[in-house]
Each structure stands twice: as C-alpha cells, then as structure tokens.
A and B are shown apart, each in its own frame.
With several copies, the nearest count.
Chain A
Amino acid sequence: MRQEQIVEAVLFASDAPLSAEEIARADEVLDEDAVGEAIRTLRVQYQEQERAFELVEVAEGYQILTKPEFAPYLERFDTVPRSSRLSGPSLETLAIIAYRQPIDRLEIEYIRGVGAVGVIRTLQDRGLIEAVGRGEGIGRPLLYGTTRRFLEHFGFASLEGLPRPEDLPIVLRDRAAPIQREAAPSIDDGLGDDLFALDTGGSNGQPAGEPSVEEDELNE
C-alpha cells in the first residue's frame, strides 16, 4: 500500500480538514514530512487526471473539495450538504472578533454600537468562535477568539489568510489628511488603536499612528 493511498483514504473519508499531524496518525510509517510529500503527489495527480475535486489547504489542514465550477450542478441535490451563510450581524461580529481576538463582549458591543449577547451565542453554537480566556476588569469577562471551524467556513488557510487591512479602501480616512493624535479618553484604551495595525496573529497589536482630530478643528 503506497503512502499517498493511505493519505488519500484518510482525507477522503474525513468530512473536515485534517492537519498533516492528524493524518500521520493513520499509520506508524507516516510522519508529517511523508504526509506533506503524499499531499503534493496527490495534488498533482488530481490536476493531471482532471478530477472534479482538488486537494486544498484550509483551516490549517488539508481537505478534498470539489472545484468551484461544479457548484451549479451540486446545488440541485438535496443530498449535498450546504454550508449556510451567516447573517449580516453575525458576519460583522465575526469580523471584529477575527481581527481583535481575544476580545470581550463589551468591546464588541462598543464597536458595533449594538448588543452582542445573541450573536455571540449564535456564533458559539455554530462553533465559529469560542471563549479563549478571561480578561481583566470587573467580572473578569470572557474573551472570545475564532476557531478552526471559522477558518473552514471561510476557506482561509490560517488567520494569516484573512484580508489584509492595508488593502482595504478606507473611504472616510481618505477624506482628510492624517493628523497627529492627542491623548485619547480612557474609555477606548486598548480598544481601537490596534485596529489600524490589524494584527492577524490575533494578539492585541501595537497602536500604530492613528489619525485623530486636532484642537483647532472646532469650527462647527
């Protein structure tokens, strides 16, 4: 039995992405390197043989998925499970958590301006976020972070696969030249600063030069 066959069988039988390490558990003779090698082989084979599926890297692991161009055919089948899309509020909340993790509920609510109890629960139920610890402060609030399932849902290979903030067109900011910022009110401590230095690694990054309002701009 060739190694790539074992890897293929394992990937094929799994309905979730598996990491190289997990795959290697299938057999004593496998290790992560061998798995990596097998995956490269399989990838090329699927491509050359024009299979309807391909081996993709997702959620810090590997998964065999159908190629996107077959979607219209597959959507006709009730026996083909579909992942359902998230609602606007869920997406927005998830975006905040993805970029700002670990983050507590009050921070999320402050950014969105609306309550988040329900959405957080929904996202937890769907396994897209999880409590990852407790923050400082009153009541030691739960801190939330994204899960592997989150990566899977969006097809991101890792948190590094998230859209880079530098690439985002920020319309409002472009309307005015960046200005030097004064001391911020205490309420936003640790809140907003790192947003402009979106740290995909998940930790609260360093505040980057953030534009703000100058004193003399009070001319309403």
Chain B
Amino acid sequence: MSPAASLGREDLLLVEIDRFQGPMDLLLHLIRQQDINIFDIPIARITKQFLLAIEGMGQMELDSAGEFIEMAATLVRIKAQMLLPQTPGEEDEDPRAELVRRLLEYEQIREITDRMERSEADRARRFRKGYLPVRPAPAQEDLPLETTWGEVFQAALEVRNPEPHGGDHWVRLRPISMEEKVDLILDTLRRVSRIEFRGLLAPFREKMHGVMTFLAGLELSRRRRIRMRQTAPFHELWVYLREDEGEGSAEEKTPRNAEEETVAGADGAHSSEEGT
C-alpha cells in the first residue's frame, strides 16, 4: 500500500501496482473499493486515480507498463468525450458504455477464475494411479519367436568393425538439430503429461540423437519450459512440462502479479506462432 496514496481524501487508494494482473484488474479494484456505481462511473476521478496509481510504474516491465498506459489513454479519451456538448437528436452512446461492458465482463471472468481455482484445488487432492508399467504377460519366452538364423547372420555380416582410433566415424552424418529435439520433447509432452527420457530416444539409433535430445532437454529446462525429475539416482529420468510458477502453494497464490506475463512474453519471442 503506497503511503503516498493516503494524501487526498478522494485519492485515498490502496494501490500497489504490481499486485494487479493488468489495467482491467486495477480499474476493477478502484471501482469496487470506492463502492462506485458501475453505471455511473465518475470518470474524471477514476482517471486521476488510475494515473496516480501507475505513476510509480517506471521499474515495471515495459510491456505491461504499455498496457496500463493504453488504458490510461482510453480513460482520458472517455473523459474528453464526456466534456463535449451532446449533439441534440443524435443517438450517441455514453462514452463510458464500452468501458462498463468490459468491466462487467472482466468481473465475471474474475469470479469464474476463482471458482476454477477452487475446482483445481479440489482436484489436486485426488491422485491418480501412479504410472507403473503394465505387467507383461507371463513368460515372453513362450511367445513363438519368428526370427530365423538367417536374419541374425545377416545382421552379423553388417556389423561394422569399430576403428580403434577416433570415434567420429560412428556419427552417420545426418545433421540433427537441437531445435528438432526441442520440438520433439514439447510435442510429446503436449500429448502425455510426462515421459521417460529414454522414451524420447527410443525411436532413434544414433548416439547423436541421444546427445542432441539431452542438450535439448537442458536447453528447455534452462528456458524453464520443462522439469526433469528422477526419483533416485540412476532411475528413470522423467521429463515434465514446467508450470509458470511451480506448484502453487498458498503463499504463492495470494500475490497475483504480472510475472508470468513477463516470463511468458520472453518465451513468446521464440515462438513461431501467429504474430500480430
């Protein structure tokens, strides 16, 4: 709570800007806090308060500052429009109408968000079956093996003699890019919640795939996109998608800050997604 805000009576606002998820959140807060009639917003006052609140935003990320400034501009414009004399006979809408509509909409979203958060918490108290591999049917040895010696022998003939010096002849030279592996990991994790690291390698034979997948894994954890977990040394290495804020404990949830926007915004730069 900014001590500076406790000066004027009508500007008596308890605003700490980075508590807010964005300009709509801030606006909603101002209106709720002062018990303002949504259908009759004192636009001059709110504009003043809004500007005051975002004054100290210098240290904020430029992106989100821009969003607040955009809203400030909208407020100022509405204020100006309200000062214009109304042309008689013209069915002009109240300049505030759109803002009101957005506020109501946003408020409802916030309410829904809270409900969903509760559902999420309830669901988190239930645990699904831990992943355990399906037990194989009784002795696999009893399955008829169709492989013939001819096949084995053919494979033997194709074995390459390793050269005693230098290992580079092993690398069959198809370039394998790390980005390709990054995509593989993310694509896979989009389908399943987590995967054993070696599952990512399973389809590939060359060691270079292993190296690049591993590097991609490191890169993704550096980008904070994935998390890797091992239950014990030398056990399987599990790869998970990382959440923006990790496991939301109670204390983490209270301050709703704009952090994710920042982090995620940076991520967005790598994105090949549709631009604007």
Does chain A touch chain B in the assembled complex, meaning CB atoms less than 8 Å apart? yes
B24 near A65: Cβ-Cβ < 8 Å: no
Least CB distance, B21 to chain A, in whole angstroms: 6
> Which chain B residues lie closer than 8 Å to A190 at the CB level?
230, 233-234
Any chain B CB within 8 A of the CB of A29? no
Closest to B22 in A: A114
> Which chain A residues lie closer than 8 Å to B108 at the CB level?
165, 168, 170, 195-196
A171 near B159: Cβ-Cβ < 8 Å: yes
A16 near B127: Cβ-Cβ < 8 Å: no
With A13-B130, A219-B170 as known contacts, state yes or no: A176 contacts B267, CB within 8 Å: no
A192 near B105: Cβ-Cβ < 8 Å: yes
With A89-B21, A194-B236, A217-B40 as known contacts, state yes or no: A95 contacts B152, CB within 8 Å: yes
Bound form: Cα–Cα A212–B103 in Å: 11
Any chain A CB within 8 A of the CB of B1? no
B101 near A113: Cβ-Cβ < 8 Å: no
Bound form: Cα–Cα A51–B71 in Å: 55
Any chain B CB within 8 A of the CB of A37? no
> Which chain B residues lie closer than 8 Å to A128 at the CB level?
145
Any chain B CB within 8 A of the CB of A92? yes
With A113-B206, A182-B97 as known contacts, state yes or no: A85 contacts B197, CB within 8 Å: no
Any chain B CB within 8 A of the CB of A24? no
> Which chain A residues lie closer than 8 Å to B199 at the CB level?
200
Bound form: Cα–Cα A121–B153 in Å: 20
Bound form: Cα–Cα A24–B176 in Å: 41
A213 near B96: Cβ-Cβ < 8 Å: yes
Number of interface residues of A (CB under 8 A): 110
B125 near A68: Cβ-Cβ < 8 Å: yes
Our pick among A117, A176, A182 for the contact of B167 (Cβ within 8 Å) is: A182
> Which chain A residues lie closer than 8 Å to B143 at the CB level?
84
With A112-B24, A127-B190, A165-B108 as known contacts, state yes or no: A182 contacts B268, CB within 8 Å: no
Least CB distance, A195 to chain B, in whole angstroms: 5
A66 near B39: Cβ-Cβ < 8 Å: no
> Which chain B residues lie closer than 8 Å to A195 at the CB level?
104-105, 108, 197-198, 201, 210, 213-214, 237
- How does the 8 Å CB contact mask read for A195-220 relative to B, with 1 for contact and 0 for none? 11111100110000011111101111
Any chain B CB within 8 A of the CB of A64? yes
With A16-B231, A81-B194 as known contacts, state yes or no: A68 contacts B126, CB within 8 Å: yes
B204 near A212: Cβ-Cβ < 8 Å: no
Any chain A CB within 8 A of the CB of B56? no
Bound form: Cα–Cα A94–B145 in Å: 14
Any chain A CB within 8 A of the CB of B132? yes
B247 near A219: Cβ-Cβ < 8 Å: no
Any chain A CB within 8 A of the CB of B60? no
Most buried by A among B64, B92, B116: B116
B231 near A15: Cβ-Cβ < 8 Å: yes
Least CB distance, A12 to chain B, in whole angstroms: 6
Bound form: Cα–Cα A210–B39 in Å: 12
B94 near A215: Cβ-Cβ < 8 Å: yes
A window 93-149: CB within 8 A of B: 94-96, 98-99, 105-106, 110-115, 117-122, 124-128, 139, 141-142, 149
Our pick among A67, A84, A115, A167 for the contact of B261 (Cβ within 8 Å) is: A115
Bound form: Cα–Cα A183–B81 in Å: 17
Bound form: Cα–Cα A190–B273 in Å: 24
Bound form: Cα–Cα A49–B133 in Å: 23
Ranked 5 nearest A-B pairs via Cβ = A118-B264, A219-B167, A85-B248, A155-B123, A95-B156
- A-B contacts, 16 of them at CB < 8 A, read A13-B127, A90-B260, A91-B151, A91-B154, A96-B109, A105-B274, A114-B67, A121-B271, A175-B39, A180-B164, A183-B93, A184-B97, A195-B105, A198-B198, A215-B91, A218-B211
9 further contact pairs, Cβ within 8 A, besides A125-B225, A213-B93: A12-B127, A92-B155, A99-B156, A118-B268, A120-B273, A125-B186, A162-B112, A194-B196, A195-B210
Chain A interface residues toward B at CB < 8 A: 9, 12-16, 56, 63-72, 74-75, 78-92, 94-96, 98-99, 105-106, 110-115, 117-122, 124-128, 139, 141-142, 149, 153-156, 162-163, 165, 167-173, 175-176, 179-185, 187-188, 190-200, 203-204, 210-215, 217-220
